[in-house]
């Protein structure tokens, strides 16, 4: 059963992973005995080298993958035991931003963002207000009628962020959102995410290889290696790691 938003507000712990293992059908182990708690409003980086388990971790949070063993409790929901027919309800609590934007090329900026609300049955007046507000938040209100192929990479990622947060999800998962961008634009994207975290109180988990960004942002940092969590740095306490 899904908890109400007011119940989530009372529970400071919005994500809790207990003794989580993930082994793929080919026998490859991706995660081993992972224990992780994330609290409402936190901004957490997840870092590690290739094969460390970062992608598997976040895929399990939005139920693209199930844990082999252990529990993943997200907003009061046991994600691993959730029936496939109920996954869409979980994903209404979560926004996801990918490295490659995943925008719909034949829809305008406005339509790409509105699509995330339209599929939930929100009325057109409410959709318009929410879309314009969030486009203003990411600095693209003036490009509402443009198409994705007319935008720069940084602008496309801003649209993807707007689409992910237009319904004010409790959790935003970012999978290498700056991976295709240069350092200057990457920091602009990070400033937008930081603003969303602070103003919307959105809990953010971000996977990245960019250690410079991690050091500049001074957030909590989880370090994975070969499927195990080897470090959990408190906010502002991160030091250099060899990935």
In this structure, the number of other CB atoms found within 10 A of the CB of residue 68 comes to 15
User: H-type helices in 54-200, by residue range?
Assistant: 54-61, 87-91, 109-118, 124-137, 153-165, 183-200
CA distance 77 to 61: 11
Question: What pLDDT score was predicted for residue 239?
Answer: 83
Question: What pLDDT score was predicted for residue 155?
Answer: 97
Question: What pLDDT score was predicted for residue 4?
Answer: 42
Tell me if 137 sits within 8 A of 93, measured CB to CB.
no
Tell me if 131 sits within 8 A of 113, measured CB to CB.
yes
pLDDT average per 10 residues of sequence, the chain (243 residues):
49 90 96 96 96 94 94 91 87 89 95 89 92 96 97 96 94 94 96 96 95 96 97 91 70
């Amino acid at each position: 059963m899904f908890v109400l938003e007011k119940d989530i507000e009372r529970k400071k712990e919005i994500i809790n992973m207990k003794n989580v293992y993930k082994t793929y059908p080919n026998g490859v182990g991706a995660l081993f005995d992972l224990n992780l708690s994330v609290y409402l409003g936190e901004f957490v980086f997840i870092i590690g080298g290739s094969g460390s388990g970062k992608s598997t971790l976040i895929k399990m949070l939005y139920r693209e993958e199930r844990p082999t063993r252990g529990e993943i409790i997200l907003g009061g929901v046991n994600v691993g035991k959730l029936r496939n027919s109920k996954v869409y309800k979980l994903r209404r609590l979560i926004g996801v931003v990918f490295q490659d934007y995943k925008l719909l090329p034949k829809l305008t900026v406005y339509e790409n963002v509105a699509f995330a609300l339209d599929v939930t049955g929100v009325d057109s007046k409410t959709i318009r207000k929410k879309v314009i507000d969030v486009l203003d938040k990411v600095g693209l209100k003036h490009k509402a009628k443009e198409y994705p192929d007319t935008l720069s990479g940084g602008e496309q990622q801003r649209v993807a962020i707007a689409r992910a947060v237009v319904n004010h999800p409790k959790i935003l998962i970012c999978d290498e959102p700056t991976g295709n961008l240069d350092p200057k634009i990457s920091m602009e994207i990070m400033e937008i995410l930081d603003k969303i975290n602070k103003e919307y109180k959105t809990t953010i988990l971000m996977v990245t290889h960019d250690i410079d960004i991690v050091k500049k942002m001074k957030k909590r940092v989880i370090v994975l290696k070969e499927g195990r969590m080897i470090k959990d740095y408190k906010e502002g306490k991160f030091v250099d790691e060899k990935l």
